[in-house]
Structure 1
Amino acid sequence: MAAHNALGKAGEDAAVAYLERNGYTIRDRNWRKNHLELDIVAAKDEELIIVEVKTRSNTDYAEPQEAVNWQKIRRIVVAADAYIKHFCIDAPVRFDIITAIGDAGAFKIEHIKEAFYPPMF
């Protein structure tokens, strides 16, 4: 596995551990349908939470959440819609970003709740 892939997996593992410590139930990780993917799908307080995880070793060039541009948001929202239809979910949906900065085992986690809202298509 390439180093950046290993770092991304470790960051996602850290994000899942953070969510579980904070009372979230993990429904799915890396859920895929065709070309669509959701990093983490969680639930808490009868709300479905779609979590995009961004992992970086440092912030020398940019903050990790800056990688979630409007094109990425659109893909996440389309994937979330497919997930909701696939599982026939009737619950409020929230879109969060979790950033993991550092090295495996020593990440600084930031949870950005309601990081974005679905755009109007």
Structure 2
Amino acid sequence: MKAKDVLGRHGETLAADFLALQGMRIIDRNWRCSEGEIDIVAIDGDTLVVAEVKTRRSLNYGHPFEAVGIAKLARLHRLAGSWCREHEVRARRRRVDVVAIVDDGIGEPLLEHLRGVG
């Protein structure tokens, strides 16, 4: 596995643990279909949450949030619908969250969570 893939998986685990500590119930991880992948699917109260996780070692190439643009958000919304259809889930509410993690492997990782992006 490539170093960036290892970092990404580590970030997804950190994000899932963080979201669970915030009271969300993680119901799926790394779900894939022909349109793409959802990192984390969770339930937050009566809301289905699709969470995109972006992990970086530093801010040298920009903040992780910068990697989630309009096209990516649109894809995540489509993927949320695909996930619901495949799992026969009718969520009253859905939202897309983004979790940004900066982890240099030395200090404590910096984690930021944006709810309801786009």
TM-score by length of 2: 0.90
Query: Does residue 1:97 correspond to 2:104, yes or no?
Result: no
CA distance in structure 2 between the aligned counterparts of 1:86 and 1:2, rounded to whole angstroms: 30
**Is the CA contact 1:11–1:107 (under 8 Å) kept in the aligned structure 2?**
no
2:17 corresponding residue in structure 1 = 17
**Alignment partner of 1:111: what SS?**
strand
Matched letter for residue 55 of structure 1? T
Instruction: Output the amino acid matched with 1:25.
Output: R
Q: Percent identity?
A: 35
Distance 2:18 2:108 in 1: 13
- The DSSP-based 3-state class of the residue aligned with 1:62 is coil
Q: Please give the secondary structure, in 2, of the residue aligned with 1:114.
A: coil
1:36: how far off? 2.1
What secondary structure is seen at the aligned counterpart in 2 of 1:115? coil
Answer yes or no: is the 8 Å Cα contact 1:7–1:103 preserved in 2.
no
Post-superposition shift, 1:73?
1.5
Structure 1, unmatched stretches of 5+, are: 117-121
Name which of structure 1's ranges 84-93 and 100-109 shifts more when overlaid on structure 2: 100-109
1:54 paired residue number = 54
Q: Could you tell me which residue of structure 2 aligns to residue 119 of structure 1?
A: none
Q: Are 1:106 and 2:98 matched, yes or no?
A: no
The DSSP-based 3-state class of the residue aligned with 2:110 is strand
Structure 1 runs of 4+ with >4 Å offset: none
In structure 1, the residue corresponding to 2:43 is in which secondary structure?
strand
Decide which structure has greater strand share.
1
Q: Which runs of 5+ in 2 are unaligned?
A: none
Q: Which amino acid aligns with 1:98?
A: V
Q: Counterpart of 1:103 in 2: which secondary structure?
A: coil
- Of stretches 10-19 and 80-89 in structure 1, the one that deviates more from structure 2 is 80-89
Aligned residue for 1:84? 84
For 2:70 and 2:32, the matched residues in 1 are separated by 20
What one-letter code is carried by the residue in structure 2 that aligns with 1:93?
R
Higher relative contact order (CA 8 A, sep 6+): 1
* CA deviation map 1:50-76 (0-9, x unaligned): 100000011122111111112211221
Q: 2 CA distance for matches of 1:44 and 1:70?
A: 24
Residue correspondences, number: 116
